[in-house]
Chain A
Amino acid sequence: MELKTQNLVYEYDSGTDYAKRALDGVDITIGKNEFIGLIGHTGSGKSTLIQHLNGLLKATEGQVLWNGRDIYSAGFDRRELRGHVGLVFQYPEYQLFETTVLKDVCFGPKNRGLSEEDAICRAREALTLTGIDEKYYESSPFDLSGGQKRRVAIAGVLAMQPEILILDEPTAGLDPGGRDEILGRVAGIQRETGSTVILVSHSMDDIAEYVDRIIVIDKGCIAFDDVPVRVFSHVEELEKMGLSAPQITYVMHTLKNAGFNVDTDAITVKEAVDSIMGQIRPHF
């Protein structure tokens, strides 16, 4: 399984006075069992890029290749592709429409041509993965809390069992508790299903802990595409793009400048604590 973009260019309102180039020559390759963070300042083109990956937007120039086949070529079934590349939009709770939670989650699998029973089976699996309690299965999705709605909506895409799961800012508008819950669930899904997950965000702190590859997009171009540690070493460039390294990176750099021999590559709070404790202990 491989999803690849080649010199992807996209212009909104192409050919009019309002034409706006949102993507400008994007080349990325997405493989199996990856956990990727897609990061960029607001308006950098993240949402635009991911809508090409399942063929919702048609590139102005360039190609998207699914296992080597051009998804815009005649005869390519883009609806089928959307089952392989699952896309969860920003604020996905606004797409819920069915009378019960379970039925809503079944919508995707049924569109893939599954029978009623198979669809329900997959829906249950997906709801379990997103942590929705069985007692909610028969309630109206409109009666749930914001965070629960969002998890139901994510389950709606997950139930199609996509090989690549893309989530556009899944934590937008949630409190820290809801944020950690969702991100934890997503990380769990990635581990358990072994599928590739692309997490879109504009906050490094959100994704640094989880992902093992970070793609930074700036004004429609790919700025960095590397492992987190190496991306974070470009603090100045990131700041010029309106981004920042995780807060913990700043703490570690400050400590280092103050004369402590701590590990500035620490990304998570836990790594940082270990590193700092390792420095302090000998003094006791």
Chain B
Amino acid sequence: MFKDITLGQYYKTDSVIHMLDPRVKLAGTLIYIITLFLGKSFFMFIPAAVFLVSMIILSKVPVSYVLRGIKPIIPLIIISSVFNLILTPGNVLVGFWIINITSEGIYMAVFMIVRLLLLITGASILTLTTTPTKLTDGMEMGLRFLKVFKVPVHEIAMMMSIALRFIPILVEETDKIKKAQMARGADFESGNIFKRAKAMIPLLVPLFVSAFRRAGDLAMAMEARCYHGSEGRTRMKPLIYARRDYIAYAIVLGYLGLMIVMAVFGV
């Protein structure tokens, strides 16, 4: 179970998209998301959809995996489309009590659904093809310029990787402690919400104790190896752009240009 959490949604296979530098993928995803908000007409979604589908095909990730990422946001989609449906003023089609469904409302609702679907699917392509470690690496390198403004970019990235690293450990630990307390007759499943919350104490106290212990141990181990933050620190696997990364940038910029032109001419 915890294997899923470690890798996020990462789908392991070898494709061009998997091999791209994480910085390219981060920038590409950001640009893609921005373009979804450039226009107000459905025509804008055609190049976006073409772009997205080509990425999916290139990434070799099975469509079923890609669609899985949509599942958790279905409630969000439903809520936002209901609001759009009933709160958009305009030409009333059906009206009863205080609820008016307008043709503009229907248009807006469908428009938002398409936009959200494109957005989430695009974002999940990023996480499906990039491991969390590479993502944090990419973010650290990509945001390095913020150091000028005294933002501790390296430290933040290190915290993120450590947090990610600890998730599976803590999940495993939770499972162990839970079982140990169940062996002592603890009951986590029955009772009302208050009883259940109280039943969590025997689980949470040892979990926190061990989390702090591990954090202390890790800090000690890092200091013992002379870790001292980003100053003068080099990387074992430095991120270096390859030719394919420049080509990818060119494609993304081409796509961005097309979308801007379409938005400007109001297609």
Contacts and interface: CB of A to CB of B under 8 A. Distances in A.
Interface stretch (A1-9, A84-92, A192-200, A273-281): A84-92
A245 B23 CA distance: 57
Nearest to A90: B176
Given A18-B3, A89-B176, A94 B206 contact: yes
A54 B179 CA distance: 11
B202 A86 contact: no
Interface in A203-247: none
A83 B179 contact: no
A111 B3 CA distance: 33
B119 to A, nearest CB: 29
A23 to B, nearest CB: 16
Given A96-B206, A97-B206, A86 B183 contact: yes
B184 A79 contact: no
B224 interface: no
A79 B173 CA distance: 21
A33 interface: no
A108 B184 CA distance: 5
A147 interface: no
A96 B182 CA distance: 13
A56 B186 contact: no
A18 B1 CA distance: 10
B209 A142 contact: yes
Contacts of A71: none
Nearest to A92: B180
B1 A13 contact: yes
A14 to B, nearest CB: 12
Which of B177, B181, B182, B183 is most buried by chain A, counting CB atoms within 10 A of its CB? B183
A160 B179 contact: no
Q: Please classify the interface of chain B as helix (H, G, I), strand (E, B), loop, or mixed, using the class held by over half of its residues.
A: helix
Given A13-B1, A18-B3, A89-B176, A112 B185 contact: yes
Contact of A87 (B183, B186, B187): B183
Contacts of B201: 97
Contacts of A18: 3
Contacts of A128: none
Interface in A78-109: 79, 82-83, 86-89, 92, 94-97, 107-108
Interface residues of A, number: 25
B93 to A, nearest CB: 48
A87 B206 CA distance: 18
Contacts of B3: 13, 18
A159 to B, nearest CB: 9
Given A13-B1, A18-B3, A94-B177, A82 B183 contact: yes
Which range holds the interface residue count of chain B?
20 to 34
B184 A156 contact: yes
A54 B184 CA distance: 11
A39 interface: no
Interface in B184-227: 184-187, 201-202, 205-206, 209-210
Nearest to A50: B183
Contacts of A142: 209
Contact of A157 (B183, B209, B210): B183
A168 to B, nearest CB: 10
B185 A95 contact: no
Contacts of A268: none
Which of B176, B180, B209 is most buried by chain A, counting CB atoms within 10 A of its CB? B180
A89 B173 CA distance: 12
Contacts of B184: 82, 95, 107-108, 111, 156-157, 160
Contact of A89 (B1, B179, B187, B202): B179
Contact of B187 (A94, A111, A156): A111
A160 B209 contact: no
Interface string B1-21: 101000000000000000000
A261 interface: no
Nearest to A110: B185
B115 to A, nearest CB: 34
A94 B185 contact: no
Interface of A: 13, 18, 51, 54, 56, 79, 82-83, 86-89, 92, 94-97, 107-108, 111-112, 142, 156-157, 160
The 9 closest A-B pairs by CB, nearest first: A111-B185, A97-B205, A95-B180, A108-B184, A87-B183, A89-B180, A97-B202, A56-B179, A97-B206
14 contacts: A13-B1, A51-B179, A54-B183, A56-B179, A79-B187, A89-B183, A94-B176, A94-B177, A97-B202, A107-B181, A111-B184, A111-B185, A112-B185, A157-B183
Interface of B: 1, 3, 173, 176-177, 179-187, 201-202, 205-206, 209-210
Given A56-B179, A82-B182, 16 more contacts: A13-B1, A79-B182, A82-B184, A88-B183, A89-B176, A92-B180, A94-B177, A94-B180, A94-B209, A94-B210, A95-B177, A95-B202, A107-B181, A107-B202, A108-B185, A157-B184
